[in-house]
Amino acid sequence: REMPRVVFTPSGKRGQVPVGTTVLEAARQLGVDLDSVCGGRGICSKCQILPGRGAFPKHGVTVAEDALSPLNDVERRYDEKRGLAPGRRLGCQARILADAVIDVPPESQLHRQVVRKAAEVRAVATDPATRLCLVEVAEPDLHAPSGDLQRLNAALADQWDLPPAACPLSVLPRLQPALRKGGWTVTLALHRGPSGPEILDIWPGFFEAPLCGLAIDLGSTTIALHLTDLATGDVIASAGAMNPQIRFGEDLMSRVSYAMMNPGGAAEMTAAVRATLDGLAAGIATEAGIDPRCIVEVALVGNPVMHHLLLGIDPVELGQAPFALATSEAATLPAAALGIGSINPEARAYLLPLIAGHVGADAAAVALSEAPETSDDLTLIVDVGTNAEILLGDRTRVLACSSPTGPAFEGAQISSGQRAAPGAIERVRIDPETKEPRFRVIGCELWSDDPGFAAALGPAGVTGICGSGIIEAVAEMRMAGLVDGSGLIGSAAQTGSDRCRPEGRTQSYLLLAGAATGGRDIAVTQGDIRAIQLAKSALYAGARLLMDRRGVDRVDRVVLAGAFGAHISPLHAMVLGMIPDVPLDRVRSAGNAAGTGARIALCSVAARRLIEENVRRIEKVETAIEPRFQDHFVAANALPHASDPFPELAR
């Protein structure tokens, strides 16, 4: 028999197949990623391909007009009913008759390369844990009695080469009606479980809707949720809410103490967060117009206390040395067991692994998203929240720690502080000559000294100063000589600025007089500067501790992760000595890296295995018991630092 040559693009995979082989079969034989939900029955159209024509010198192949069999009835019917784009063929119908070059367009690839918006973010292949599978099941036979599920499993083996699938009790009662309604054809949502496939849902006949998942970043302050198409990794909709546990304690340790002091306190916090997650999930499905049954996967990241409370584990051990986790391993369990019941009742939730007692699945998600273990450069990654999670590493080793920065970077504990929201000052510049400030406010494009600023501001005016605003304000005050290296604000006499006003026994610097806003004065007080100094010293000391462990006193790159990291100006962060000295163009913001990591894990089984493996190798450093942490912390109190040099600042 003749064996034409076939080349698949873009993969470049090639081989020879017997004349008459379908393109789908050829793709399977050659290991080419060509999607199929219907198993080659001409129903799903997932297998669309684009045949090439003419000479392909690069591949050493010339393709004749009739290299593929002509359009058959199945394709013609499909084309009439749903329309086939020009040049496209169904890979399961088109047969290879002569040498061929076949392009697999991105939408026909199951394991898709996700193209990210931010160019610097690593692309990742999707490899979903749950996918749709159409099966044709044999009808029951009085003479050879067998159960419908057993015949379905025989069909799975025959048509999909799969081991028998488990069918949970919630799905089993729907099996018989679905088979009969679908004329012995059903579509399954099949999950790749640790001990074989599991049927999460069943639909009569051919069911066509994208399967979705929820990537959830469970922060101590905010919860963010991204409804994601499992096959493409695209975010369909996002939603967020404040963590309802805030009413039990602002920060992690106060929530742990709430659990310690109040019998049933941990259970209360568990119930609160589960109810919020379920409400968010229901809301996002409605908002996106997606059938909640199509949401079949969930991936969750959070710090250890959030993780334990979500699972219903009392976090009391996390509040005291040796900070033992109940479990640090990744887990897959029914989402309904976590109270997320408004999506598919059999949806599976994947919790990323935890790194250590203080370094959670959120840090693991950052590691997954940023992949320091693939870098030649020694990279410092900081995710700043109420706690800072810090990773330092390259190809050879990755180290991790967390450092208690407190909520100052989020605008809390600051006299005019507020969360980043419209009306908050987010950018500040101070003229070194006149010592006069100008600023920008969230929700307004103009600077405060631009004409029309007041009108553009809207009726709410300037409401306060957010985390990035206070960092810039303090750094600008330092650069303008209003604050000395110890963090002390000078008096009007010392600085020559009458914006420096006594406040008790210290000074404060007036950013905006209350009269201008119809409200109270917005000023930077000595207390504000102390709060920022404490927070930044903790951050810097954590980074230095990891650098000590690596035996280095410089890093090659700094990555600022988190919503907050996205808004910090690298220059101002370095003037304060928040981060170690490094050329400014080597400081990058990674946006919400924990959320991205959750989305990568949501869409890819391979990524789940990768981060589980990498987390085992990450070396944990416990800041609370390291004697050098205190020394680093004290030295880092000065602006930028008592002893470490910052040569880049001199440039």
Contacts with ligand FES by CB under 6 A lie at 24, 36-38, 40-47, 90-92
Q: Which residue is nearest to ligand FES (CB)?
A: 92
Q: At its nearest, how many Å lie between ligand FES and the CB of residue 447?
A: 57
Q: Which residues are bridge partners to 523 per DSSP?
A: 510
Q: At its nearest, how many Å lie between ligand FES and the CB of residue 134?
A: 8
Three-state SS letters, 205-240: CCCCCCCEEEEEEECCCEEEEEEEECCCCCEEEEEE
User: Tokens 């640790």 sit at which residue?
Assistant: 194
Is the CB of 104 or the CB of 511 nearer to ligand FES? 104
Residue 83, classed as helix, strand or coil, is coil
User: By C-alpha distance, which of 430, 453, 411, 422 is closest to 509?
Assistant: 430
Q: At its nearest, how many Å lie between ligand FES and the CB of residue 31?
A: 17
- As a whole number of angstroms, the distance between CA 308 and CA 325 comes to 8
Is the CB of 37 or the CB of 636 nearer to ligand FES? 37
Q: At its nearest, how many Å lie between ligand FES and the CB of residue 413?
A: 59
Q: At its nearest, how many Å lie between ligand FES and the CB of residue 84?
A: 10
Is the CB of 43 or the CB of 338 nearer to ligand FES? 43
Is the CB of 40 or the CB of 265 nearer to ligand FES? 40
Is the CB of 109 or the CB of 614 nearer to ligand FES? 109
Q: At its nearest, how many Å lie between ligand FES and the CB of residue 13?
A: 18
- As a whole number of angstroms, the distance between CA 180 and CA 188 comes to 15
Return the exposure string of 561-574: e unless at least 16 CB atoms fall within 10 Å of the residue's CB, then b.
Answer: bbbbbebbbbebbb
Considering Cα of 120, then 409, then 512, then 574, what sign does the dihedral take?
negative
- As a whole number of angstroms, the distance between CA 396 and CA 375 comes to 9
Q: At its nearest, how many Å lie between ligand FES and the CB of residue 384?
A: 48
8-state DSSP, 184:
T
User: Tokens 């170690």 sit at which residue?
Assistant: 580
Is the CB of 83 or the CB of 459 nearer to ligand FES? 83
* Residues 449 and 443: beta-carbon distance below 8 Å: no
Is the CB of 42 or the CB of 461 nearer to ligand FES? 42
Q: At its nearest, how many Å lie between ligand FES and the CB of residue 93?
A: 7
- As a whole number of angstroms, the distance between CA 389 and CA 560 comes to 11
Is the CB of 43 or the CB of 266 nearer to ligand FES? 43
Q: At its nearest, how many Å lie between ligand FES and the CB of residue 28?
A: 11
DSSP states along 453-474: HHHHH-TT---EE-HHHHHHHH
- As a whole number of angstroms, the distance between CA 526 and CA 510 comes to 12
* Residues 370 and 392: beta-carbon distance below 8 Å: no
Kindly list the strands in the beta sheet with 14-16, ordered across the sheet, starting from the edge strand earlier in the chain. Answer: 14-16, 5-9, 100-103, 48-51, 89-90
Is the CB of 46 or the CB of 435 nearer to ligand FES? 46
Is the CB of 187 or the CB of 463 nearer to ligand FES? 187
User: By C-alpha distance, which of 569, 562, 565 is closest to 592?
Assistant: 562
User: By C-alpha distance, which of 622, 569, 592 is closest to 385?
Assistant: 592
* Residues 297 and 347: beta-carbon distance below 8 Å: yes
Q: At its nearest, how many Å lie between ligand FES and the CB of residue 171?
A: 23
Q: At its nearest, how many Å lie between ligand FES and the CB of residue 279?
A: 37
**CB-based contacts of 41, cutoff 8 Å, min separation 6:** 92, 134, 136
* Strand 89-90, strand 506-512: pairing: unpaired
Is the CB of 46 or the CB of 550 nearer to ligand FES? 46
